[in-house]
Homo-oligomer: A and B are copies of this chain.
Amino acid sequence: MHPLFEYIKQYVTVSEEIFNNELKNSFIKKEIRKKEYFLIEGEICKNFCFIAKGAMHKYHTDDKGIEHVVNLFVENWWAGDRESFVKQTPSAYTVDAWEDCELYLINRENSTKLLKESSIFNEFILKLDEQHTISTQKRITSSLSLSAEKRYEDFVSNYPHFVQRFPQHIIASYLGITKDTLSRVRRKALKT
């Protein structure tokens, strides 16, 4: 079964036939190796990708050259930069493969076309955006209202697979806490 079909049918009612006829050909399979770039800061995000296998991470580099991890992705996540993709402007982010990846890419033209022509794709994107809005609201609330300790606990309980696949300094950056704080929090968590 096509991995994208398997994923999409969790969100919308769609037959394999409709998926094959309406959606499948708008996506191109691409394999990238660990450390290879999917998007480089300053370039236009021409494609969005569905991750069928592997892990990626997205970061922004500040004026001092420090990298700030803004997103972590594993299988069944979408990666790219929405602003750059929509407006076709240079991206403020870099996205690269943290592990070897199998991706399904869709470009802006195909995405716009599907949104206009396919009610299934439309319904799917609405659901995806809805879920995304809910999870980013939670992330913002947690960054404003929780201690570093509680943020890490929540992260481990919500995304246990991320802790296994990304190193501590990447998770610390994603959570907006220093590596030392994360080490302290982890040591404390192990003791209890």
Contact = CB atoms under 8 A, between A and B. Distances in A.
Count identical subunits in the complex.
2
A41 to B, nearest CB: 12
Interface stretch (A26-34, A129-137, A158-166, A178-186): A129-137
Interface stretch (A49-57, A99-107, A138-146): A138-146
B129 A133 contact: yes
A130 B129 contact: yes
Where chain A touches its partner, the secondary structure class is helix
A173 interface: yes
A67 to B, nearest CB: 9
A126 B137 contact: no
A173 B129 CA distance: 26
A40 to B, nearest CB: 16
Contact of A143 (B69, B129, B173, B176): B176
